[in-house]
């Protein structure tokens, strides 16, 4: 299963491109015989574990090659391993999907690469990894350092200001994957940059180019400012930027535009609104022709553009602008302020409430979610599914069997509900990363649901309800007993197959085998 952010980028329509040729490549191909020695000989290595037939690997290839060319000058090698030829090496490094990117600092220090699969993101991230958490900045290297990345943060702090330096260093250590940090204790350097000690300056290649912080010198306060100052007033939403906006911790305003000219115009028109709401809402334009399908996820009609909506990813609240109204910047500005002031109710997409519940699996819709999942004293097992999901369709008959045992036993039914919700047709409180996702909402602890990650056999699901539910309802024997009787009454060699068939699937199939959103 790919992460939520990779899945969301798929929704935004990132397209595959052809693989780069290996001729005169700056990407070093390694084997089991060469990998270990190469990693030992270099302080920092980015490795791609790939398969030649993998479409995502082919899409990455030209980006990876471009990044390798740029990083070669910084002595940061990019390597690749063909897992169809080096299966044992890939297994040794825990490769479960393609492509897998990992960062090596010698053979014993390994971590996954978390960034976007674009050359700019690869270069930026690996450059940060090559430098100390805080680099020394001087009169001689200040200009070069400021140009190393799109956003660079420099602390101008006196050598005897221990409290400020400790806070800055703590922040730099925690955020070194996201930003470049430098520091100078030379008052003359600070003066040349137009600031006085203590100050923190964020240099950027957009908007006002430079922002100065002079607030409380604690790491949390500085970080809050950095997140705001490093975000464009009106940015551009796409595969490389989507994840950072979603993780920003504040709502995001989507501006759907159909042409490059319209994108440029709206970016300028919305600047005053974005300036007013800075730190409260981020604003970004979105190419409606390329990514217009994403409008439906915001409860907008994807056939009507331009369009506008605000999304709060943390609460999963959506505030779409009424598309029957004129696309008036002035009116939308008032709408944005009303959202900030809490005067606008979130839009909730919901299927109609079922008049009757047919079948043992309780059907949940957005308008019944609170009542049937949260506001009751039952343990609720809830499957988040999509109608088109192949894994969901495979699970359906077994899930019906599971629900039937609880629904037809009065004692069980009073304590357990087995339910499902179409997460494509109903807004749900939490972001769902793949289908099916199964969660148990224990009675008395509904705000702490437990996500299921075991095999999709009926017995294992029943055991999950028993061990994780408050009521500890034990229905496991209801599923195992008939199978045991069948096996014991049959002397044929087919008995194990019949038992496996009764469970629905081999227990080795894990719930991580999701279909994408």
- What DSSP string runs through 353-410? PPSS--SSSEEE-HHHHIIIIISSSSEEEEEEE-TT-HHHHHHHHHHHHHHHHHHHSH
CA atoms of 153 and 202, how far apart (whole Å) = 4
C-alpha 41: how far from its chain's center? 34
Answer for the pair 409, 456: CB distance below 8 angstroms, yes or no: no
Q: Is 285 helix (H, G, I), strand (E, B) or coil?
A: strand
CA atoms of 4 and 10, how far apart (whole Å) = 10
Structure token digits, residue 265: 């115009």
Structure token digits, residue 474: 């034990």
CA atoms of 446 and 492, how far apart (whole Å) = 47
Active site residue 90: no
CA atoms of 177 and 206, how far apart (whole Å) = 20
Instruction: Name the residue among 285, 273, 286 with its Cα closest to residue 330.
Output: 273
- Tell me the CA distances in angstroms from 324 to 156, 327, 336, 472, one per residue in order: 52, 9, 17, 51
Active-site choice (57, 407, 418, 458)? 57
Active-site choice (392, 407, 423, 475)? 392
Answer for the pair 433, 515: CB distance below 8 angstroms, yes or no: no
Residues 6+ apart with CB under 8 A from 265: 257
Residue 99, preceding bond cis, omega within 30 degrees? yes
Active site residue 389: yes
Residues 6+ apart with CB under 8 A from 225: 200, 213, 215
Per DSSP bridges, beta strands 210-213 and 252-257 are: unpaired
Active site residue 54: yes
Active-site choice (11, 28, 32, 54)? 54
Cβ atoms < 10 Å from Cβ of 79:
21
Active site residue 392: yes
Active-site choice (183, 389, 438, 461)? 389
Q: Which residues are catalytic?
A: 54, 57, 389, 392
């Amino acid at each position: 299963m790919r992460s939520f952010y990779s899945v969301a980028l798929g929704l935004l329509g990132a397209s595959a491109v052809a693989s780069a040729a290996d001729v005169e490549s700056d990407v070093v191909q390694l084997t089991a015989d060469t990998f270990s020695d190469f990693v030992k000989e270099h302080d920092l290595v980015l490795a791609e574990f790939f398969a030649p037939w993998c479409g995502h690997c082919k899409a990455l290839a030209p980006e990876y090659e471009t990044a390798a060319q740029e990083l070669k000058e910084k002595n940061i090698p990019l390597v690749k391993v063909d897992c169809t030829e080096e299966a044992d090496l890939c297994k040794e490094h825990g490769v479960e999907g393609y492509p897998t990117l990992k960062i090596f600092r010698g053979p014993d220090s390994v971590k996954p690469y978390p960034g976007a699969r674009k050359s700019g993101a690869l270069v930026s991230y690996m450059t940060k990894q090559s430098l100390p958490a805080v680099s020394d900045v001087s009169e001689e290297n200040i200009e070069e350092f400021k140009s190393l990345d799109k956003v660079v943060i420099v602390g101008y702090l006196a050598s005897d200001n221990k409290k400020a330096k400790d806070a800055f260093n703590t922040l730099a250590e925690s955020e070194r994957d996201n930003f470049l940090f430098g520091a100078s204790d030379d008052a003359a350097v600070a003066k040349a940059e137009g600031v006085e000690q203590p100050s923190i300056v964020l240099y950027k290649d957009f908007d006002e180019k430079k922002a100065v912080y002079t607030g409380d010198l604690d790491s949390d306060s500085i970080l809050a400012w950095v997140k705001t100052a490093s975000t464009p007033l009106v940015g551009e939403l796409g595969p490389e930027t989507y994840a950072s906006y979603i993780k920003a911790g504040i709502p995001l305003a989507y501006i759907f535009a159909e042409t490059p000219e319209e994108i440029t115009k709206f970016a300028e028109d919305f600047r005053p609104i974005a300036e007013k709401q800075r730190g409260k809402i981020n604003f970004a334009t979105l190419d409606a022709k390329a990514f217009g399908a994403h409008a439906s996820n915001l409860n907008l009609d994807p056939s009507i553009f331009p369009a506008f909506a605000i999304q709060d990813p943390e609460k999963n609240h959506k505030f779409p602008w009424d598309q029957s109204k004129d696309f008036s910047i002035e009116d939308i500005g008032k709408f944005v302020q009303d959202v900030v002031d809490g005067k606008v109710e979130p839009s909730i997409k919901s299927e109609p409430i079922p008049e009757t519940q047919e079948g043992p699996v309780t059907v949940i819709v957005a308008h019944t979610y609170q009542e049937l999942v949260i506001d009751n004293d039952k343990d609720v097992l809830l499957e988040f599914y999509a109608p088109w999901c192949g894994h969901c369709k495979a699970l359906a008959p077994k899930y019906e069997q599971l629900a039937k045992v609880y629904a037809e036993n009065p004692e069980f039914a009073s304590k357990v509900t087995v339910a499902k919700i179409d997460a494509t047709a109903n807004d749900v409180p939490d972001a769902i990363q793949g289908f099916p996702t199964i969660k148990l909402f224990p009675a008395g602890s509904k705000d702490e649901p437990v996500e299921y990650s075991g095999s999709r056999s009926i017995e294992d699901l029943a055991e999950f309800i028993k061990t994780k539910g408050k009521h500890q309802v034990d229905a496991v024997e209801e599923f195992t007993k008939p199978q045991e009787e069948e096996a014991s009454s049959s002397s044929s060699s087919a008995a194990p197959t019949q038992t496996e068939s009764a469970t629905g699937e081999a227990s080795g199939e894990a719930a991580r085998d999701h279909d994408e959103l």
